[in-house]
Amino acid sequence: LFSLQQLGPAFVKLGQWAATRRDLFPVYFCIRLSELHSSTYTHSFAHTQKALVEAFGENYESRGLVLKKDDIILGSGSAAQVHKATLKTAKGEKPVAVKVLHPSIRIKVERDLSLMQHIANFIDLCIPLQSVKMLSLPRAVSNFADIMRRQVDLRIERDNLDIFRDNFGCSDKASPLINFPEPQCHWVSEQVLVEDYIGDGARPISDYLEDDSVSGLKERRALAGTFVRSALKMVFTDNFVHSDLHPGNVFVREEKTKLNETKYTITFVDAGIATSLQPNDRQNLRDLFKAVVLNDGYTAGALMVERARFERCSSIPGGKEKFASGVQEIISEFHDRRKKGLTLGAVRIGTLLAKVLDLCRVYKVEIDPAMSSIVISMMVLEGLGRSLDPDLNLIKSAMPFLVGNLVGKV
């Protein structure tokens, strides 16, 4: 952890991603890296105060924002840290969360990305193996660079939060199942974001992952369905995906209903990274999910070639057929697992998508770079969902989002 944090914020972000992949790395390794989700190095209160003055003027306290040196630091991530503070409004005082970028974060991010790009270029040029070429490391780093740069302007996060809140109707519901913090009007700048405080009763979802008791497993199953459906809604309905959903950015609030049942509200925070797909790539993703259900990867592959803005399959004898057959082979491997149930424990949709992207690189079928970001997001979401409930049937959960295009075919 010390080494990652010394390397810089971009490497911390990679560590956060690795912590969610218990299907790739040992559990103890993931548990150790998961500390990066909320407890990286913190910066000084002097820097926070300086950022507030630069953002809102020296009179920010008289305007209503009160943040004291001994106020709680709620968490610190790769790009920023969050303080608990008080905001005085016409309706009275209320607790808020104040997110402040770390010192010189933009310079540090660019330094890290430059190092990563040089390493990727060196590996790509100097290791003449097809498996290495298929990784397309320079392009992967370029996509990662775009993601990291979005995190160092908190106005982007404000805009993203507004979109997510609108998509999930957060303002229209007294107690929604899915929630996002509301940015406070007139209290947002490039370096500082003031938003709703999600409450002292909210618990990190990682707390639930550590409880293996009978009641704990029951709670996890209840959370898994809501979590996975919300992720599928982002992908298939809204086409606006929170692309930084590691456990440190997901919180759960419990409340009792009138029937004394427990109701869970999942709150997603740190929405600086969001991804949308172009119409063709969005349809390709939907078709791949349909192909798993129908075991028809060949048609999905052929359509991907036809929709591609650039492809070289058609110029190679039998190229289109080979690409479509390759997609069919990948889909068939996953479809065969339906005998065991298409559960999160049995199926790796993120891996399936990654294999299809590898095939696209081999046959030069162009895919929007945003698709790579979506695949990474799906892997992280899938990993967290699997940790909550490995027996959750993924395709059954996805069916309501696909049924419009499946009616008449199933």
Contact criterion met (CB below 8 Å) for 375 and 357: yes
What mean pLDDT do residues 209-217 have?
84
Q: How many CA atoms, within 13 angstroms, populate the side-chain half-sphere of residue 297? A: 21
Contact criterion met (CB below 8 Å) for 14 and 25: no
How does DSSP assign 337-368, residue by residue? Answer: GGGG--BTTT--HHHHHHHHHHHHHHTTB---
Q: Is the pLDDT of residue 13 over 50?
A: yes
- Summarised one tens digit per residue, pLDDT across range 351-390 is 777 788 778 878 888 776 677 677 777 777 777 888 888 8
- Summarised one tens digit per residue, pLDDT across range 55-101 is 999 999 999 999 988 878 888 877 889 999 999 988 889 999 999 99
Q: Compute the CA torsion angle 239, 243, 247, 248 (nearest 10 deg).
A: -120
What are the φ and ψ backbone dihedral angles of 263, each rounded to 5 degrees? Answer: -110, 135
- Summarised one tens digit per residue, pLDDT across range 257-277 is 777 788 889 999 989 888 888
Degrees to nearest 5, angle at CA 74 with 14 and 33: 25
Contact criterion met (CB below 8 Å) for 36 and 43: no
| Residue 77: partners with Cβ closer than 8 Å, 6 or more residues away | 12, 16, 37, 38, 40, 248, 270
Contact criterion met (CB below 8 Å) for 208 and 227: no
Q: In 3D, which of 259, 246, 247 has the Cα closest to residue 376?
A: 246
- Summarised one tens digit per residue, pLDDT across range 112-162 is 888 888 888 888 888 877 656 655 677 777 777 877 788 889 999 999 999
Q: How many CA atoms, within 13 angstroms, populate the side-chain half-sphere of residue 309? A: 8
* pLDDT, position 246: 75
Degrees to nearest 5, angle at CA 203 with 200 and 207: 150
* pLDDT, position 23: 45
